[in-house]
Structure 1
Amino acid sequence: MTQVNWAAFASAEPALARIAEERFGAHRHHVLATLRKDGSPRTSGLEAGFRDGELWLGMMPGSLKALDLRRDPRFALQANPGEGTGMGGGDVRIAGRAYEVEGERKSRYAKEVEPPQPFHLFRTELTEVVRTCVEDDRYLVVQVWTPGGSLRTFRRA
């Protein structure tokens, strides 16, 4: 399965990347899905950020979601929909694999972001970005992007 970082996605689909960054930037906490040892899903709150062409996932030390990702890097990340039903910009979900970062790259990130210490830091490789929204109060619109493919858009009345 092909994977790319955030910069490659943003280069391929700049309009969708901008919308996704706006959705994730609208709220501080989002929902991360990881896989437990037995393969069942685990959902957890998470702060995610876009920096230097990457989508970063930061976590408290020893958190179960970090341990999940160390064991199996697959994840899905859901943007916080906010209060009420008005999801300006639509619903955005990102799927991929997350890989823990240590050393100089983690130190550089910590200097720029100043997260609580200690922490786990994961960079992501994307396998899918999906946006769902309502258009003209008539159509449910689903946009799906995968690496190496073009953006597919589905409309349903």
Structure 2
Amino acid sequence: MTHSWADFRAAEPDFAAVVRARFERFRHHVLATLRADGSPRLTGLEGDFRADELWLGMMYGSRKALDLRRDPRFSLHANPGAGDGTEGGDVRVSGRAVEVTDADGLARYAADSPESHAPGRFHLFRAELTEVVRVHVEDPYLVFEVWHPGKRLRTVRRTDEDSTLYEEA
């Protein structure tokens, strides 16, 4: 089961706002795709929120685009920033990338791009979400927030001293 960004935002508006803000702190993020042999490929990507959707745009013919055409599964990890935990935690969205191939849809996307970033020929994918995860520190806890389509947001807290997981209902 997958959901659009709009579906996710409707189901969990506060969590969606935190996740989007975390992605919007930086422009460049890390995209994971699957190569033809099944091994992972990690590449940089600028995720883009427009019209209540998460878009993945990439250079025409790029390996990551060809990966997604063959197998649409992906994960997008928000740029970790300084890596010291002050950026709002780690955020990742996973799901299926649905390619936009109609000329009108591609033209609308390009026309809405800032002039300095207007793409030439490009691939465009709309993110359909299967999982959204945020991991952050709330001293003394490491907090895991996990959302799956059709399920409630799950929050789990863990301490360094105790490997027991404390799940909120």
Q: Where in structure 1 are there 5+ consecutive unaligned residues?
A: none
Question: Which position in structure 1 is the counterpart of 2:92?
Answer: 93
Instruction: Decide whether the 8 Å contact of 1:75 with 1:98 is kept in 2.
Output: yes
Displacement after TM superposition at 1:90 (Å): 1.4
Instruction: Decide whether the 8 Å contact of 1:33 with 1:43 is kept in 2.
Output: yes
Instruction: Decide whether the 8 Å contact of 1:59 with 1:66 is kept in 2.
Output: yes
SS of the equivalent of 2:6 reads: helix
Instruction: Decide whether the 8 Å contact of 1:81 with 1:87 is kept in 2.
Output: no
Question: Which position in structure 2 is the counterpart of 1:128?
Answer: 131
SS of the equivalent of 2:151 reads: coil
1:46 and 2:45 are equivalent in the alignment: yes
Q: Match of 1:107, as an amino acid?
A: A
Q: Give the distance between the partners of 1:34 and 1:144, measured in 2 at CA.
A: 21
Q: Deviations over 1:48-102 (max 9, x none)?
A: 0111121000101110000000000000000001024133321100000001102
Displacement after TM superposition at 1:129 (Å): 0.1
Q: Give the distance between the partners of 1:116 and 1:83, measured in 2 at CA.
A: 29
Question: Do the aligned partners of residues 62 and 144 (structure 1) sit closer, same or farther apart at CA in structure 2, a change above 3 Å counting?
Answer: same
Identity across the alignment (%): 62
**Aligned length, in residue pairs:** 155
Q: Match of 1:109, as an amino acid?
A: Y
SS of the equivalent of 2:111 reads: helix
Query: TM-score, normalised to structure 2's length?
Result: 0.89
Work out which of the two has the higher radius of gyration on C-alpha atoms and give 1 or 2: 2
Q: Match of 1:128, as an amino acid?
A: E
Greater relative contact order structure (CA < 8 Å, 6+ sep): 1
Q: Give the distance between the partners of 2:35 and 2:85, measured in 1 at CA.
A: 32
Question: Which position in structure 2 is the counterpart of 1:149?
Answer: 151
1:112 and 2:115 are equivalent in the alignment: no
Q: Where in structure 2 are there 5+ consecutive unaligned residues?
A: 160-169
Query: TM-score, normalised to structure 1's length?
Result: 0.95
